[in-house]
Structure 1
Amino acid sequence: MHVIDSIDLHKLLTEKGLQVTQDPHKNAIKIKCDAVIVGSGCGGGVAAATLASSGLKVVVLEKGSYFGPADYSPFEGPSMEKLYELGGSLPSIDGQFAILAGSTVGGGSAVNWSACIKTPESVLKEWTDECKIPVFGSNEYVSAMDIVCERIGVTEDCEEEGFQNQVLCKGCKNLGFDIEKVPRNSSSRHYCGSCGFGCRRGDKKGTDKTWLVDAVNNGTVILTACKAEKFMLERNTTMISTRKMKCTGVIATTLNKNITKKLQIEAKVTISACGALHTPLLMYSSGLKNPNIGRNLRLHPVLMSWGYFPDSDSDIEGKAVDGGIITSVHKVLGPNNNVQAIIETPSLGPGQYTALCPWVSGLDFKQRMLKFSRTAHLITIVKDRGSGEVHMGGRVTYRFDATDRENLQAGLRRSLRVLVAAGAVEVGTHRSDGQKLKCKGVSKEELEEFLDTVFSVGGPLFGGDKWMVHTTAHQMGSCKMGRNEKDGGVDENGESWEAEGLYVCDASVLPTAIGVNPMITVMSTAYCLSKRIAAKIQNL
């Protein structure tokens, strides 16, 4: 909703059927609704549509802005600044991780790489049997995944693969490795390599094109450039509840300089869906103390390999930025056929590439950039056992698990083999010493010797002259579901153990890492939780 000043906001909200009053003593605008949702991404969008379809008055707060296909920029700089948290420059405290998180209407679904992978059965079994969260072993959840995939138009077909995915497929085929197609929430003709900066073709169906449209069509109001400050909590006098506090809404500020009053949104239920990095911060600022808040943060750590394919020496056509970003995946299997890592292809613009490239010399850097358009990157992603923490102020720390490093190493070495098998004339990693290998005339023994030098090493502050910056694929788990308040920050219905009427519907609630792109999992979880929330409101 676009507004100019407080009077304009009051008028427009009233026209939408909301009860709006002024509180001059608190310099606030009071808005009453059935449900207020903080965040419009994979969780918030689904929750908004589900609650609104039940006839509830819903208000969504989004601190980012709305962009349509015509508004997206083809350039990295403006895109990162407008669409990502802190302009895409959010590091962990020790500099070991570079973290990307969407910050726009649609959240991560507006800038992700379209991969639509259902929650693996092994993960569902883990969450059901070990974590004791029954919903993940239910027909309700299976049905939710089907509903979600249908709404966002998931297809498994891809008419033409881009340069990097051709490299992945060819290398795996030549080595006899299995390769799987990745379903996407776009048409089979989708050939856009810039969806990480917003889909300018309008083909990708994120929440901004699907669930949020459904929500608005059912009367939902979305307030953009509006940042939640804290939940409104009071003593709970309900005799039937064991929760000491009750949440009555949220206090927010708008980034519109013409609106100086705070927004006080009063609601029957309040839902935090602002992601695994921001949900803990909102809970901290509200005075919630559950020890699981902010902890158990999983990041899906990533390391990249690269291979150079000159036009004259390769039958693979295209450029590095051409084609669908992720259309194929290779699973690296360990003992007992357990998945150690997955190998996919990333979206990587020239600016991002320069940030990852090690500095060896000016000439080396110039040569790397001249080769950029025909340099294929492969990413190794692991289902991390290690975990991190979101601290006050948004600082992030992370503790690596030894097994995660071993799995990253296995995946990184496998990806280099795939690049060599696909015909790369040169391969390497982004280690600080410029680690690389010229492939022409290299024997099997020499290749093995090179691969034996490839490790997952620490970040720039860990000491030594050989270090790597790890990127991260996704954030989850920082307010996980649990059987009781010792096990989690919320219960199996997504409700806070401390405050009645306060729910979480985003990746924060996931008990562990997933090991694959989590969009379908987050949406399906939000669908199940919001269905339960709607039923509870209607029974009040």
Structure 2
Amino acid sequence: MLTLATMACHPLLTGIGVQLRNFKHGFSSSQIQTLASMCEALVPPLPPSCVSEEIKSAYSQEAIYSFFGASASQPSVPDEVAELIAKRGLPEAVILIKVVLRLLSTRPGTLLLCGPLCMDHKFPYIRKYSEMTLNNREKLLQSWCRESNITPLRAVFLFIKVVCCFIFFSRIDDKATNPNWEAIGYKVDSRKPSIRPKERSRPLQKGIINCNNINNDSLVQALTEKGLEVTQVPNQNTIKIKCDVVIVGSGCGGGVAAGILAKHGLKVIILEKGNYFAASDYSSLEGPSMDQLYIAGGMMSTRDGQILLASGSTVGGGSAVNWSASIKTPDSVLTEWWVNHKLRIFGGPEYRSAMDEVWKRLDVTEECSEEGFQNQVLRKGCENLGLKAEKVPRNSSKDHYCGSCGYGCRTGDKKGTDTTWLVDAVDNGAVILTGCKAQNFVLETNKNGGKRSKKCIGVLAKNLQIESKISISACGSLFTPPLLISSGLKNPNIGTNLHLHPTLLAWGVFPECSTPNLKGKSYEGGIITSLHKVASKTSDEIHAIIEATSLGPASFSGLIPWISGLDMKERMIKYGRTVNLVALIKDHSTGTVKKEGIITYSLNKYDKKNLEMGLRQCLRILISAGAAEVGTFRSDGQRLKCKGVKAEEIDEFLESIVASGGPMSRDEKWAVYGSAHQMSSCRMGVTEKEGAVDENGECWEAEGLYVCDGSVLPTAIGVNPMITIQSVAYCIATRISSVFDQGK
């Protein structure tokens, strides 16, 4: 694995796949032995005879044989799996996995969980799980996945399967490569940043103070050098800082607010719990990048495990790792917010002017010089069906051909808040404290009278007490509500009305030999450059939108249905030419997030119906574009071979497509949903009964405390929300600046 020297040279080579051999997972040796046997069943060593003639004729045989012979039980993999489970799992999930592994490490426990599969005609007649044949171990996991009515066992299977496959395909050696990548046709993006004249390679560095592993004296000195008023409280481990505005979070909302308010002449401090990375820091390595750029390494989910949640956690937040889609708020949504929710801000020129300013600052273009493989398929499939495929504007140049922006844009071409609004902020004296997580806002009784009973005077973070005239929560829809609640706010709209834009995936395989006109690999090119709207035939309603997605090999292997070890390896061989399309809906279902990391959400029948329509349209598009095989991510491996298939067979297959329940449901055929857009958990409302904040973004209960992120959106919007969130933030920040003007 990578040496310390190599790790020190590259900030994003310190995550998963690059672990030092000092494991602290808390699993016993017997549990690790059982886990290793389970990993071997999930990713088994297979003889050359298992390689089909189709695969032999299409791929490098040496690499294929090596890949088929590899196993996830090889040294250190099970320990890495255990460590990631301990690091990312909810406490109760980790306990459950440990209990199951402990039972399977004993004969009575194995008999209880495995039944006849562990029985033998030789003494002692019952085998522990690690002693069972590989075939029987595989059968047990298959039964847990698809047949078991004991949902905790299904959850154990799913978590271990996801983590095991993720580790197997993301771990790297001292040359930053994985031995399985050649067989699956994967290459890491190794392009260098293209810094233009007058651009800085690390544009935020002069405003950054890294709070990780820094003592109080050094921190005080660094803060003072940034021009802040700092006091170290004697006999206390506390540092007091004074500023005009403190902002918690640096993403689409916080970044915009920081840029506007600092440019207005205010002293701004931004707290960011993640770290700062510039284009030259990004490695495009899936494991380390997910570990350091996403909340919970991209493994956060709703409480029931049904929806996997992707949320950025770095300077720039989601804008640093999103897929560039820059879509303005649909007119229908603005009308809904203005008319139905009576929010005047969305009915006049103020908001539309803000969208234009955001569009300009992000240097959005509607052109694309060359589309990547997946978007070629989406466009071709739509054209063959007589459907419209729209161009998707992007906050990058028309020549931007980067499939790894989800791991940070290596070329520096994508315009996130870390290369735009935050640069404006730092250039105007703002300070960004990284590795600094806010604990709570400080509230006191409001002596000014008025409607708000409390007044916010700052925020506490680590050993910092930041006093400010204005405080802004901009840490996103999953973290702003818990922060406000922990600060003492009681408005019932805080942490409710959570929208997630639920998604389901469909896949299609396009062998190069049969589709030579479709160039490239699934991980190459702009991630979203085309989309199709699944429109109602009887109304103006949009049931779903269809876009391409970005799945690295480790994420893909963790999400695809696991039918058997052989099937998994055959699927992975085709990874590079497998197109994954996503159906996304404007959800009417809602969830809650009152406590950090605890998200509940339940899909209603209406939203499931829309997802089904979107998923079926994904499959139609893939089939029409020339896929050799298509399918869904449902647990039973639902798929259709397309060669020679008749129209009625396609119709029959499409009729079988449903939005199944999640892994903790009673459905034998279940699916994991996705969400990269979280909104509305502190929605804006004209009264405190209808919203958590008013039309200015100010909390109804506390004067001087604002929310400036996607959580203030009144409803879901049905498209990628970056432009909407930034435009709302622009309006809120502009109104805050006017408050200071009035106070002069």
TM bracket (short chain): over 0.9
1:187 to 397, 406, 427: 397
Residue 43 in structure 1 maps to residue 245 in structure 2: no
> Contact between 1:302 and 1:382, CA under 8 Å: does it hold in 2?
yes
Deviation, structure 1 residue 13: 1.7
> Contact between 2:272 and 2:315, CA under 8 Å: does it hold in 1?
yes
Where is the strand percentage greater, Structure 1 or Structure 2?
1
* 1:478 matched residue in structure 2: 681
Residue 266 in structure 1 maps to residue 467 in structure 2: yes
> Contact between 1:381 and 1:473, CA under 8 Å: does it hold in 2?
no
> Contact between 1:43 and 1:505, CA under 8 Å: does it hold in 2?
yes
* 2:546 matched residue in structure 1: 343
> Contact between 1:268 and 1:537, CA under 8 Å: does it hold in 2?
no
How far apart, CA to CA, are the structure 1 residues paired with 2:335 and 2:736? 24
Does the residue aligned with 1:451 lie in a helix, a strand or coil?
Answer: helix
For 1:304-383, list aligned pairs within 5 A.
Answer: 304-314=505-515, 315-334=517-536, 335-383=538-586
* 2:451 matched residue in structure 1: 242
Does the residue aligned with 1:391 lie in a helix, a strand or coil?
Answer: strand
Deviation, structure 1 residue 25: 5.0
Deviation, structure 1 residue 286: 0.6
Deviation, structure 1 residue 287: 1.1
> Contact between 1:64 and 1:83, CA under 8 Å: does it hold in 2?
yes
Deviation, structure 1 residue 361: 1.1
Deviations 1:257-309, CA, capped at 9 Å, x for gaps? xxxxx100100000000000000010111111100000010000000000000
1:59 to 269, 294, 314: 269
1:295 to 484, 491, 496: 496
Deviations 1:453-479, CA, capped at 9 Å, x for gaps? 000010011113100000113001000
Deviation, structure 1 residue 402: 1.3
Q: TM-score, normalised by structure 1?
A: 0.97
Q: CA RMSD in A?
A: 0.9
Residue 441 in structure 1 maps to residue 644 in structure 2: yes
For 1:499-510, list aligned pairs within 5 A.
Answer: 499-510=702-713
For 1:250-261, list aligned pairs within 5 A.
Answer: 250-253=459-462
How far apart, CA to CA, are the structure 1 residues paired with 2:598 and 2:627? 39
For 1:451-462, list aligned pairs within 5 A.
Answer: 451-462=654-665
For 1:65-104, list aligned pairs within 5 A.
Answer: 65-104=275-314
Residue 286 in structure 1 maps to residue 496 in structure 2: no
Does the residue aligned with 1:523 lie in a helix, a strand or coil?
Answer: helix
Residue 515 in structure 1 maps to residue 718 in structure 2: yes
- The one-letter amino acid paired with 1:264 is Q
Deviations 1:418-472, CA, capped at 9 Å, x for gaps? 0000000100000000000000011110000000100001001111310000011
Does the residue aligned with 2:320 lie in a helix, a strand or coil?
Answer: helix
Q: TM-score, normalised by structure 2?
A: 0.71
Deviations 1:286-336, CA, capped at 9 Å, x for gaps? 111100000010000000000000010002110000100000000000131
Which of the pair has the greater relative contact order for Cα pairs under 8 Å at 6+ separation?
Answer: 1
How far apart, CA to CA, are the structure 2 residues paired with 1:536 and 1:67? 34
Residue 2 in structure 1 maps to residue 219 in structure 2: no
How far apart, CA to CA, are the structure 1 residues paired with 2:573 and 2:542? 36
> Contact between 2:362 and 2:416, CA under 8 Å: does it hold in 1?
yes
Name the % identity: 61
* 1:106 matched residue in structure 2: 316
Deviation, structure 1 residue 26: 4.4
Residue 143 in structure 1 maps to residue 349 in structure 2: no
* 1:498 matched residue in structure 2: 701
Give the ranges of 4+ consecutive aligned residues of structure 1 lying more than 4 Å apart after TM superposition: none
Residue 408 in structure 1 maps to residue 607 in structure 2: no
Deviation, structure 1 residue 131: 0.8
How far apart, CA to CA, are the structure 2 residues paired with 1:133 and 1:145? 17
* 1:258 matched residue in structure 2: none
> Contact between 2:209 and 2:222, CA under 8 Å: does it hold in 1?
no
> Contact between 1:333 and 1:340, CA under 8 Å: does it hold in 2?
yes
How far apart, CA to CA, are the structure 1 residues paired with 2:234 and 2:648? 78
How far apart, CA to CA, are the structure 2 residues paired with 1:358 and 1:339? 29
Unaligned runs of at least 5 residues, structure 1: 254-261
Where is the helix percentage greater, Structure 1 or Structure 2?
2
Moved more, 522-531 or 68-77: 68-77
Deviation, structure 1 residue 391: 2.7
> Contact between 1:460 and 1:468, CA under 8 Å: does it hold in 2?
yes
> Contact between 1:41 and 1:105, CA under 8 Å: does it hold in 2?
yes
Does the residue aligned with 2:640 lie in a helix, a strand or coil?
Answer: strand
How far apart, CA to CA, are the structure 2 residues paired with 1:340 and 1:25? 61
Residue 173 in structure 1 maps to residue 383 in structure 2: yes
- The one-letter amino acid paired with 1:442 is V
How far apart, CA to CA, are the structure 1 residues paired with 2:374 and 2:487? 45
Deviation, structure 1 residue 75: 1.2
> Contact between 1:299 and 1:475, CA under 8 Å: does it hold in 2?
yes
Number of residues of Structure 1 aligned to a counterpart in Structure 2: 531
- The one-letter amino acid paired with 2:330 is P
Does the residue aligned with 1:420 lie in a helix, a strand or coil?
Answer: helix
Deviations 1:143-201, CA, capped at 9 Å, x for gaps? 10010011011000100000000000000000000110000000000000000000011
How far apart, CA to CA, are the structure 2 residues paired with 1:475 and 1:507? 7
> Contact between 1:494 and 1:509, CA under 8 Å: does it hold in 2?
yes
2:222 to 5, 12, 24: 12
- The one-letter amino acid paired with 1:147 is E
Moved more, 298-307 or 22-31: 22-31
* 1:256 matched residue in structure 2: none
How far apart, CA to CA, are the structure 2 residues paired with 1:323 and 1:447? 30
How far apart, CA to CA, are the structure 2 residues paired with 1:392 and 1:323? 38
- The one-letter amino acid paired with 2:392 is V
* 2:426 matched residue in structure 1: 216
Deviation, structure 1 residue 401: 1.9
Unaligned runs of at least 5 residues, structure 2: 1-207
Does the residue aligned with 2:418 lie in a helix, a strand or coil?
Answer: coil
- The one-letter amino acid paired with 1:328 is S
Does the residue aligned with 2:513 lie in a helix, a strand or coil?
Answer: helix
> Contact between 2:548 and 2:582, CA under 8 Å: does it hold in 1?
yes
How far apart, CA to CA, are the structure 2 residues paired with 1:407 and 1:245? 43
Deviations 1:31-69, CA, capped at 9 Å, x for gaps? 000000000000000000110111100000000000011
- The one-letter amino acid paired with 1:520 is I
How far apart, CA to CA, are the structure 2 residues paired with 1:271 and 1:362? 50
Query: Which has the larger Rg?
Result: 2
- The one-letter amino acid paired with 1:397 is T
Deviations 1:321-371, CA, capped at 9 Å, x for gaps? 010000000000013131110000001111111111111111111110000
How far apart, CA to CA, are the structure 1 residues paired with 2:304 and 2:482? 20
> Contact between 2:334 and 2:347, CA under 8 Å: does it hold in 1?
yes
- The one-letter amino acid paired with 1:322 is E
> Contact between 2:368 and 2:529, CA under 8 Å: does it hold in 1?
yes
How far apart, CA to CA, are the structure 2 residues paired with 1:109 and 1:10? 30
- The one-letter amino acid paired with 2:709 is D
* 1:537 matched residue in structure 2: 740
- The one-letter amino acid paired with 1:281 is P
